[in-house]
Amino acid sequence: MKVAVLGAGNGGQAISAYLSMQGHNVSLWDRNQNIVDELIKKGGVRLEGCINGFGAINIITNNLKTAICDAQIIMIVTTANAHGYLAVQLADLLQEGQIVVLNPGRTGGVLEFRESLKKLNFSKKIFLAETQTLIYACRTKETGVVNIIGIKDKVFLSALPSKDTSYVLKKIQNLYTCFIAANNVLVTGLENIGAVFHPSVIIFNAAAIERGNKFYFYREMTSAVAEFIEKLDDERLAIGKAYGIDLISAKQWVSFAYKNIKGDSLCERMQNNPAYYDILAPESIHCRQLLEDIPTGIMPLIAFGEIAGVKTQLLQSVLTIASVLLQKDFTLEGRNLTRLGLNSCRSVLDVIKIIDNS
Amino acid sequence: MKVAVLGAGNGGQAISAYLSMQGHNVSLWDRNQNIVDELIKKGGVRLEGCINGFGAINIITNNLKTAICDAQIIMIVTTANAHGYLAVQLADLLQEGQIVVLNPGRTGGVLEFRESLKKLNFSKKIFLAETQTLIYACRTKETGVVNIIGIKDKVFLSALPSKDTSYVLKKIQNLYTCFIAANNVLVTGLENIGAVFHPSVIIFNAAAIERGNKFYFYREMTSAVAEFIEKLDDERLAIGKAYGIDLISAKQWVSFAYKNIKGDSLCERMQNNPAYYDILAPESIHCRQLLEDIPTGIMPLIAFGEIAGVKTQLLQSVLTIASVLLQKDFTLEGRNLTRLGLNSCRSVLDVIKIIDNS
């Protein structure tokens, strides 16, 4: 199968290597010429850890057109705050019938992607989908060498509109068998566990990170922070409930996504998850755990809460604190109702109508 | 002069020792029998650092009546969240003409104190005042031995109502010369620098504190946290402005309260202040920097902002985050408009009328 993988970070390198090893015809794109050059020199990516082997990648390029030309499936594996930008860049290049999958969409990824296309009067028939999380827990050791720390058992996937999900799922089964259908993009979007995990950990460790302290992001989780995360998660669960979705709680999720995790509390499960074990905290507070998760997690959660009339005091406090800490106005880029294309929605039913059918 | 000092923490021990060394007739009260017993055994308190010597304290007791009987001035040096409780305990014991000084009142200390008395139909004529900050930066090395790290040059003091300030100031000059008159209790209350310093530092260090990391509270201040504090301080300054008060900013304050502090930024001034140098962070997030400063600093600042129509989004976010982090409902005890006796106030002028005259 011809597959384009956009983004050569941890996830993009891992996916393109694995699919190449499986015999697929993969083209890998990245915006960064240095990474592209380095990968061309190596001819592909070596995987270590849970998967071992070398994936020789057919095309490695920083030209989007070259990358996606005639690809049946386009796997977007960039940070989620690049989704809107990529939609604009891809608008002229996308071909009828192509499948675009955001790995993952975070909250509202395909909604923002589609709205960005709409603004450009995009009219080709393509298929848009998003996953709930990245398939792998992985880290690049160096460009071209990725350590696969864990592989998720089951990953939710939904198309926009939802009626396209079964078609996308049938096609993507050729690449991965871990994907399972989510009812709609609210499920994949509201099951954004990173949005409740990441910013909380960074905020309560901000000074330690600034001081240059090294610590393990999950292994050294502390109880009050984990309990804070559960309270933040309660707001996410309440939003889900308002949309008729019985979301998986953060605590359940760790055991759902990984096998045989020991521990009763969320804190223990985070500390004990082997897939999390070696993940170090970022070296700067200007990290994707805030720069990505605030605009593509916390903000759209607040937006969905607003339509449904769900109180999101804690989510809003996290947004406020993070904005001031980073001195960054996230409203200039974050997924609000306008950027999600939901400005006309006055109720939960309005949203569901849009995501299921149109 | 007969002086009662209530509270035998760092500040209470330091004040009672110093005043005893100056020849005053001091009685020191604490609620904790063990501390009282230990101090009785030692006969007083030894001061080290900026002041050296032993203060033999006349009466050391855990009986409030014994402590305050015939005292001309009652210096309350407990944490501010004990002010309401102490007012209730003292109501029957206070004598006509006695001067009660909260060291410091934090935000709205005397307002809460007076309102607590009012609820008990208290009718004796006493004088109520509060200071803006504690005279000393000090730490107890052990019960009965206090290290005086710094002595403040000037400390604001105001009575409630303001017309009593000059009388209180004249009397208290017999004890200390550092006190200077503030226009009213809004000045002493809104100049609550601890309220903007303390909770911010704890929140951004919460996980480090939970992990048992030792660090110096001010000396290891980090730039993003210090800049966050300045943004939080901007809301405090805006509240001051709404009440016609030109408050001292956090950055100016460090240089105002201590001599010859080097540094352009707040961060540098905190790092370089010798009086702050040895102050370690607390060993638990359940520390007075949250348990005291949220209900007696952040909350009354929000309350004063509410009356004046000043936006306090960041203060409210700090309250929300701290409440959830500690799993503590601060609304059950914190200084809101009711507990400050300001429920009937609809405007800034209503507040000023109350604090200046009645």
pLDDT digits (tens, 9 = 90+) for B91-122: 999 999 999 999 999 999 999 999 999 999 99
Half-sphere exposure of A208 (CA within 13 A, CB side): 28
Q: For a pLDDT cut of 70, what percent of chain B falls above it?
A: 100
Average pLDDT over residues B42-47: 98
Position B49 scores a pLDDT of 95
CATH number listed for the domain at residues A191-357: 1.10.1040.10
Position B259 scores a pLDDT of 76
Average pLDDT over residues A327-336: 96
Residue A164 catalytic? no
Is residue B337 scored above 90 in pLDDT?
A: yes
In CATH terms, B190-357 corresponds, of 3.30.1490.100, 3.40.50.1220, 3.40.228.10, 1.10.1040.10, to 1.10.1040.10
A211, A217, A267: best to mutate for the B interface, most B CBs within 10 A: A211
- Residue ranges, comma separated, of all CATH 1.10.1040.10 domains in chain A are 191-357
Interchain contact, B313 vs A325, CB within 8 Å: no
Is residue A257 scored above 80 in pLDDT?
A: no
Burial class (CB in 10 A: 0-12, 13-18, 19+), B211: middle
Under 8 Å between Cβ of A342 and A354: yes
Interchain contact, B210 vs A223, CB within 8 Å: yes
> Nearest by CB to A204, which of B206, B220, B318?
B206
Under 8 Å between Cβ of B182 and A177: no
Going across the sheet that includes B25-29, the strands are B59-61, B25-29, B2-6, B73-76, B99-102, B127-131, B155-160, B179-181
- Residue ranges, comma separated, of all CATH 3.40.50.720 domains in chain A are 2-189
B214, B325, B331: best to mutate for the A interface, most A CBs within 10 A: B325
| SS3 label, residue B165 | helix
Q: Which CATH class is domain A2-189?
A: alpha beta
How far is residue A302's CA from residue A312's CA, in Å, rounded to a whole number? 6
Position B137 scores a pLDDT of 85
> Nearest by CB to A208, which of B213, B313, B317?
B213
Is residue B257 scored above 90 in pLDDT?
A: no
What's the mean per-residue pLDDT of chain A? 96
Position B260 scores a pLDDT of 81
Is residue B276 scored above 90 in pLDDT?
A: no
Interchain contact, A327 vs B213, CB within 8 Å: no
pLDDT top residue among B315 and B276: B315
Interchain contact, A213 vs B213, CB within 8 Å: yes
Position B237 scores a pLDDT of 98
CA-based nearest residue to A352, from A84, A126, A161: A161
CA-based nearest residue to A290, from A331, A347, A330, A332: A330
CA-based nearest residue to B228, from A285, A159, A104: A285
Helices of type H across B218-294: 223-242, 250-257, 266-272, 288-291, 293
Going across the sheet that includes A145-151, the strands are A53-56, A44-49, A145-151, A136-142
Helix (H) or strand (E) holding B26: strand B25-29
Under 8 Å between Cβ of B196 and B232: yes
What's the mean per-residue pLDDT of chain B? 96
Burial class (CB in 10 A: 0-12, 13-18, 19+), A89: middle
Position B73 scores a pLDDT of 98
Q: For a pLDDT cut of 70, what percent of chain A falls above it?
A: 100
Amino acid identity for residue B142 in this structure: E
Average pLDDT over residues A239-261: 90
Residue A293 catalytic? yes
Average pLDDT over residues A163-175: 97
Q: Which chain A residue is nearest to residue B227, measuring alpha carbons?
A: A325
Chain centroid, CA A146 distance in Å? 18
Chain A residues with at least one Cβ partner in B under 8 Å: 201, 203-208, 210-211, 213, 215, 220, 222-225, 227-228, 231-232, 285, 313-314, 316-318, 320-321, 324-327
Dihedral angle sign, alpha carbons of residues A4, A179, A298, B289: negative
- Residue ranges, comma separated, of all CATH 1.10.1040.10 domains in chain B are 190-357
Would you report the helix, strand and coil content of chain B in percent, each value rounded to 5? 45, 15, 35
